[in-house]
Structure 1
């Protein structure tokens, strides 16, 4: 496909050019979409294979970027970022021909003498607003789906992960012209400008309050949305549970990515008969996975950091508020603002009215 490639777009956080540049870029995507919509399964599969190849060629750069943004280890980057995107690509490649094939359906009574098919078509121009907690996975995952469906895409990654954003931009630029996929960087003011535009579909990953704003903006254009939102994630353990297994899984699921995962357990409801054993096992697995001492945990390369000072301060305040309201520190509680570090923390006897029980934690507590 021969088409001119646009210059790289980097919209600064408060740049005066924002309100001008973004509509222009959108118009270029919109104008180019009819060509993309006509691409065959074979052509789209080829693009996806090129994307996979570009990811593998930039693997070391991905490692460095995620480590720079919040000290994520190579093993965790492989497991939670790269493998997830590669899996999406492989799945799309395996099924794309079937997805694009029209499906014959029986006619309804009013169309009894006709022949009918269902044919799936691209939406048009898709907006992907991705978060900072899994900035590679949750940016490129939706891009793979939108690309496989034959859409043009505008990507707005989080401003909190600039190093990862640069690698994502590089990878996409090696495969797609920017009138097919454009990357726009900036803070919430840029996202606000984007939501004023008539996108045909919006992917958003983030908190429910912003999700409502996205859904309202999409409704103005009758656009469809895919919303992956956070919340409180409970775990319930009764006396019939395998306590050792439950504790190991809760510790792994909670402290992976330093708890900055939307499905990480926020609180655990434990039967009183097995509570002492469960707490002991949780403390054991924290020590086993991250270190016996505070110094070992802080130096552990498999334990990332909080994404920003603001979020670090919020988490410290959640712990302080819980303790002031009667909670007991059963593990952790230490923090280092300079390193954006919080030790793996366990609170017991927590008041239901504490902020830690009312808000999504999104951290190692």
Structure 2
């Protein structure tokens, strides 16, 4: 039986789930392409069946519009499933290789098999895509999986928990929920592979825990994403791409643009175009933008307060507020904001921040 998708999973149940997957992991290594493809198609059908439920869940957790949910959460997963089901048979096919000098006269081939028991730890910013996309790969490769979503997206987790329990037996795939204690209990288990998406700080802890068990890891970690615009750029296209990348999911993306380095000859025109895009898409004032149904909210009040403080600190240190700056921490609202002439010391101090 899969654990509850909305409460902290007891450590004893985590250990029981991990133990239950040991025997199943051995069987899945020799499962056929047809069996794996069948599971992936069931997963896709279950997700799409609950599309409206996911829309409501994202509205609850993020205030995220339905079209953005489809574009950034569901379509990427569907694409992953389509790619896996289309290519899986060729991926699984053994490959002949030439023997080395010391083994002349023999034949050799490479046979692919799953890692075994896998752990996937997802972040809060894209709670479906970053959790289910690696699950697709793990299932295609013939593994068992324990999923650990972020505790900050309880409504989405509840829907995902229902999907997982409907499609998979707990000995194959299960989802556990909770905060730090849950994550630590999982990292104490000797998984064969760990897939983690999140901060570099936590990534180091994950890699350290994996090393204790000689587990392999896949780490997708956050960082900075500066944008450089020179005098030869197509400014209309540049402005559209920059503002789309920054404002989708309210900028809560690991590769969202956060700093613009613009050639002085095109600076004013580019910034003007950025302002026009925001006005057309969300409204011309902070009040209008705040009431727009198309702008996602911050994940929680603490994050909203942190970003609001960064903006206020920048203005206090001499940065010029070209656009936005408004915020309502209780409502988790941060207006699209453009700052210019940011002091060097602030740029250095903000280097570790993700907006």
Q: Which residue of 1 aligns with 2:3?
A: 8
Q: Give the TM-score of the pair, scaled to structure 2.
A: 0.97
1:330 aligns with 2:325: no
Deviation at residue 293 of structure 1 after TM alignment: 2.0
Note the aligned Cα RMSD (angstroms). Answer: 1.5
| Contact 2:148-2:177 at 8 Å conserved across structures | yes
1:196-211 to 2 correspondences below 5 Å: 196-211=188-203
Q: 2:350 aligns with which of 335, 358, 362?
A: 358
* Whole-angstrom CA distance in 2 between matches of 1:80 and 1:362: 19
* Whole-angstrom CA distance in 1 between matches of 2:202 and 2:228: 29
Q: Which residue of 2 aligns with 1:310?
A: 302
Q: Per the alignment, do residues 356 and 82 of structure 1 end up closer, same or farther by CA in structure 2, a change over 3 Å counting?
A: farther
Q: Give the TM-score of the pair, scaled to structure 1.
A: 0.94
Q: Which residue of 2 aligns with 1:30?
A: 22
1:290 aligns with 2:282: yes
Q: 2:59 aligns with which of 53, 67, 71?
A: 67
Give structure 2 stretches of 5+ with no counterpart.
Answer: none
* Whole-angstrom CA distance in 1 between matches of 2:347 and 2:179: 27
Give structure 1 stretches of 5+ with no counterpart.
Answer: 1-5
Q: Which residue of 1 aligns with 2:141?
A: 149
1:247-275: CA deviation from partner (whole Å, max 9, x where unpaired): 11111110110000011001010011111
| Contact 2:223-2:354 at 8 Å conserved across structures | no
1:155-181: CA deviation from partner (whole Å, max 9, x where unpaired): 000000001001111111111001111
Deviation at residue 106 of structure 1 after TM alignment: 0.7
Deviation at residue 42 of structure 1 after TM alignment: 0.6
Q: Which residue of 1 aligns with 2:266?
A: 274
1:122-147: CA deviation from partner (whole Å, max 9, x where unpaired): 00000000011110111111111101
* Whole-angstrom CA distance in 2 between matches of 1:308 and 1:276: 34
* Whole-angstrom CA distance in 2 between matches of 1:189 and 1:359: 29
Q: Which residue of 2 aligns with 1:180?
A: 172
* Whole-angstrom CA distance in 2 between matches of 1:21 and 1:33: 18
| Contact 1:9-1:182 at 8 Å conserved across structures | no
Q: 1:92 aligns with which of 65, 84, 88?
A: 84
Q: 1:111 aligns with which of 89, 96, 103?
A: 103
| Contact 2:3-2:176 at 8 Å conserved across structures | no
- Secondary structure of the 1:354 match is helix
* Whole-angstrom CA distance in 2 between matches of 1:22 and 1:176: 17
Deviation at residue 299 of structure 1 after TM alignment: 1.2
Deviation at residue 37 of structure 1 after TM alignment: 1.8
1:185-210: CA deviation from partner (whole Å, max 9, x where unpaired): 00022111111111111110001111
| Contact 2:6-2:154 at 8 Å conserved across structures | no
Q: Per the alignment, do residues 278 and 10 of structure 1 end up closer, same or farther by CA in structure 2, a change over 3 Å counting?
A: closer
Q: 1:54 aligns with which of 46, 50, 75?
A: 46
